[in-house]
């Protein structure tokens, strides 16, 4: 288990692989590094760092309701570890954080991979109200939006545990950060290559959001996964890992 101090908080990360390009995994709302599938954590020929955002998983610090705050923490982790040639892979809120960082063109950034995400992430008012007033009930409701029908129960339970561990304040802060996020007008400024991955059964970040990013980011490719929902890296880990491998090797 490894930690790095960023802005006075101990940020937890797990690093695997010794050579190759560096992939930094940024989880979504209420998630943690523990939720990534083995297929991504141990991508052959790639150094992979999976981190817990502040107030999530094993990280200290406080969650934030601003994507910009999370982006500063991720940059702090990358810079403290002295990483270069970094590809940021973000899921949902994590994708928003990766986009925010790409817009600031840090010298260590080589590319972004945006999985189940969007350049604007308005949230159903019922989700925000539910998180505020009935946390358990809102997690029940969310399970229906996050996964496609027939998803293995063990995957749904792992995701649920992660949100329960993060707790009500963190999950509400994350969704509020999403709701405030909007860089739709700025995607043309992104100067690194991007891979956008969407799913045909994603009710939270519809494929339309992914297509919009792929059309507006100057150097972007788009992949649409079928038969999966918002949690596509958990539902279709092999397919997502294959897309990421191909992108990292310039394919």
- Does the protein bind ligand COA through residue 121 (CB under 6 A)? yes
- Does the protein bind ligand COA through residue 13 (CB under 6 A)? no
Half-sphere exposure of 45 (CA within 13 A, CB side): 8
Q: Which long-range contacts (CB under 8 A, 24 or more apart) does 131-135 make?
A: 131/168, 131/171, 131/172, 131/175, 132/172, 135/168, 135/171
CA 153/CA 41 separation, integer angstroms: 22
- Does the protein bind ligand COA through residue 62 (CB under 6 A)? no
- Does the protein bind ligand COA through residue 209 (CB under 6 A)? yes
Binding segment for ligand COA (CB under 6 A), chosen from 9-17, 129-137, 207-215, 239-247, is 207-215
- Does the protein bind ligand COA through residue 144 (CB under 6 A)? no
Q: Tell me the two tokens of residue 106.
A: 């840090």
Instruction: Give the length of the chain.
Output: 251
Which residue lies nearer to ligand COA by CB, 127 or 131? 127
Q: Shortest gap between Cβ of 168 and ligand COA (angstroms)?
A: 17
- Does the protein bind ligand COA through residue 92 (CB under 6 A)? yes
Distances (CA, A) of 189 to 44, 84, 185, 193, 215: 31, 21, 9, 12, 13
Residues ≥6 apart with Cβ < 8 Å to 69: 177
Q: Shortest gap between Cβ of 209 and ligand COA (angstroms)?
A: 4
Q: Shortest gap between Cβ of 25 and ligand COA (angstroms)?
A: 18
Half-sphere exposure of 208 (CA within 13 A, CB side): 5
Q: Shortest gap between Cβ of 121 and ligand COA (angstroms)?
A: 4
- Does the protein bind ligand COA through residue 205 (CB under 6 A)? yes
Q: How many amino acids of this chain bind ligand COA (CB under 6 A)?
A: 15
Shortest CA distance to 22 belongs to which of 67, 71, 68, 77? Answer: 77
Q: Shortest gap between Cβ of 123 and ligand COA (angstroms)?
A: 4
Site residues (vs ligand COA, CB under 6 A): 92, 118-124, 127, 178, 204-205, 208-209, 212
């Amino acid at each position: 288990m490894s930690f790095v101090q960023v802005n006075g908080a101990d940020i937890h990360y797990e690093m695997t692989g010794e050579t190759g390009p560096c992939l930094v995994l940024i989880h979504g709302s209420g998630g943690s590094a523990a939720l990534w599938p083995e297929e991504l954590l141990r991508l052959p020929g790639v150094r992979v760092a999976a981190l817990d955002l502040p107030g999530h998983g094993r990280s200290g610090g406080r969650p934030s309701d601003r994507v910009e705050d999370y982006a500063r923490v991720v940059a702090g982790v990358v810079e403290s570890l002295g990483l270069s040639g970094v590809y940021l892979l973000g899921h949902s809120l994590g994708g928003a954080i990766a986009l925010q960082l790409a817009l600031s063109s840090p010298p260590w950034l080589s590319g972004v991979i945006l999985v189940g995400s969007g350049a604007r992430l308005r949230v159903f008012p019922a989700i925000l109200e539910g998180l505020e007033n009935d946390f358990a009930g809102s997690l029940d409701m969310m399970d229906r939006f996050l996964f496609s029908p027939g998803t293995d129960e063990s995957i749904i339970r792992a995701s649920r545990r992660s949100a329960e561990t993060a707790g009500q304040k963190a999950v509400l802060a994350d969704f509020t950060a999403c709701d405030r996020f909007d860089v739709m007008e700025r995607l043309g400024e992104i100067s690194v290559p991007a891979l956008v991955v969407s799913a045909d059964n994603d009710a939270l970040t519809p494929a339309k959001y992914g297509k919009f990013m792929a059309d507006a980011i100057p150097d972007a490719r788009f992949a649409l996964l079928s038969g999966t929902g918002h949690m596509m890296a958990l539902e279709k880990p092999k397919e997502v890992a294959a897309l990421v491998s191909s992108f990292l090797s310039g394919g």
